[in-house]
Chains A and B, each alone.
Chain A
């Protein structure tokens, strides 16, 4: 559906994008992650034909963004980071303008207006001037603008920035409800926003893609080892010695515990550490108070990946 390959773009001497490649299939939702200034917006501006790349190609539905930009624009609904609103218009006039500019008219336009207003929860503010709207409503009006022509592809640049938790939840639900029928790329620098909406992430840092995959794959790749917490009511020294005897454990760290002892153990993802510890406890006759894997959060992964990318750069 969208194929980005070898994209590069510089602004003056600043290299914004360097050999960026990824692809998204039809109906997929992609979380586009990265710190501020990593190149998320620039990539999205190139996909939406607002900017042209210095090198590389972007194909949307097999159509090259440089060769047939108007065809690409027809297929895309785009919410830029700075929500593009005419403050002197009310929501009705504004959405009507964007709808007509996208070629809708008559009954079809009215039907789409109704749908967008309902889906984005704009009914109560419909006749208010956009200049008087709160940040949340402005963001939703921007989203409604991107949806007005019922596009197959949605490109949303930081759709939840500046919203309160309840509003974020609303936008998240809207994105989820569009899943399956639309291909969506949304960018964010807030990691918690990705997991509830999608599993597929691309992480960009300093203009380069540093990771592409599911959240699970990425943490496995980035962290190298699995984390298991073990707690037991038994003699700490004996438990530690027994755990150290397990060849799978690459790292063992005692943790403070109120009752008995507690450890954090690391082992390669391929090893069944939980099973091994269970057998050990049964043999040693300790009473386990805790035994579970602790999956890495996207934060851990993100930090490890960006650190690694930085490390690589320093070495180079």
Chain B
């Protein structure tokens, strides 16, 4: 645990050592708030459904860009060899890096808290739905980050890592869309619905938007995140052979 903390501190500081962090956060806030506000006055409803609804698609691009440097940069700098010869387990190094990226995402997400404050001042929103919406946003980010960390570990180059990450997140995203599932069902009966139920994320995520936090949805996000993190550690261990 102490090992992970050392790695976490260095990685978290690394985000803020470069101007990219601030550009990221500002872009994240401006785009999200902007997209939300364009519809807000037209709808005239005091809720954040539109904001949370945009996230699964928006984060497909944002999250892999946050996680792309995690391993790929170390491979380029040669520090990967340093990390892999420190007296700590690969899983501890990975966890430190992953949590640093997650913390960075949470900082960006915390910036959007102005929206519920504003909505609360203008109307009478459902606070439960907002809270579960934020829980969903955290879990969604955690899952995408797990995927992005994994693809960063596969690649030596950050651009390849971000593209592979975007494609992987996108795949998870479209598998959850009913129209896509129906199309796949048309090719291989049953396959589309199966994939939609087990892998597609929209169904699980939308439950939380409505204020329902189910065990199955929690298990989906946490379980799939864990799968990608374990794959990441195994891949990095396997590279030795």
Contacts and interface: CB of A to CB of B under 8 A. Distances in A.
A45 B78 CA distance: 13
A85 B79 contact: yes
Contacts, number: 64
B81 A82 contact: yes
A102 B6 CA distance: 10
Q: How large is the interface on A (under 10, 10 to 19, 20 to 34, 35 or more residues)?
A: 20 to 34
A82 B156 CA distance: 15
B197 to A, nearest CB: 40
Contacts of B78: 80, 82-85
Contact of A89 (B17, B85, B240, B241): B17
B3 interface: yes
Contact of B82 (A76, A103, A145): A145
Contact of B81 (A50, A87, A100): A50
Interface in A70-117: 70-71, 73-74, 76, 78, 80, 82-89, 97-98, 100-103
Please give me the 3 A-B residue pairs with the lowest Cβ-Cβ distance, nearest first. Answer: A82-B78, A84-B82, A52-B240
Given A50-B84, A89-B10, A101-B3, 11 more contacts: A50-B85, A52-B240, A54-B241, A80-B81, A82-B78, A84-B81, A86-B10, A87-B77, A88-B17, A102-B86, A145-B82
Interface string A6-21: 0000000000000000
A48 interface: yes
Contacts of A48: 85
Contact of B87 (A52, A54, A83, A102): A102
Interface in B35-87: 77-82, 84-87
Given A86-B77, A87-B77, A101-B6, A49 B82 contact: no
Contacts of A102: 86-87
Contacts of A97: 6, 10
A52 B241 contact: yes
B148 to A, nearest CB: 20
Contact of B77 (A49, A71, A84): A84
Contacts of B6: 97, 100-101
Interface string B1-18: 001001100100010011
Nearest to B239: A51
Given A86-B14, A88-B14, A88-B18, A70 B89 contact: yes
13 contacts: A50-B84, A50-B240, A70-B88, A70-B89, A71-B87, A73-B87, A80-B82, A84-B77, A85-B78, A86-B79, A89-B10, A97-B6, A101-B86
Q: How large is the interface on B (under 10, 10 to 19, 20 to 34, 35 or more residues)?
A: 20 to 34
Contacts of B79: 84-86
B226 to A, nearest CB: 23
A157 to B, nearest CB: 10
Contacts of A52: 240-241
A116 to B, nearest CB: 15
Contacts of A76: 85
Interface string B130-173: 00000000000000000000000000000000000000000000
B10 A73 contact: no
B17 A74 contact: no
Contacts of B84: 49-50
Contacts of B81: 45, 50, 78, 80, 82, 84
Contacts of B3: 101
Contacts of A83: 78
A37 B77 CA distance: 21
A297 B82 CA distance: 36
Contacts of B14: 86, 88
Contacts of B88: 70, 101
A87 B81 CA distance: 15
A101 B81 CA distance: 14
Contacts of B87: 70-71, 73-74, 102-103
B85 A98 contact: no
Nearest to B16: A88
Contacts of A84: 77-82
Nearest to B81: A80
Interface-central residue, A74, A87, A101, by most chain B CB under 10 Å: A101
A53 B221 CA distance: 38
A51 B84 CA distance: 9
A94 to B, nearest CB: 9
A224 to B, nearest CB: 41
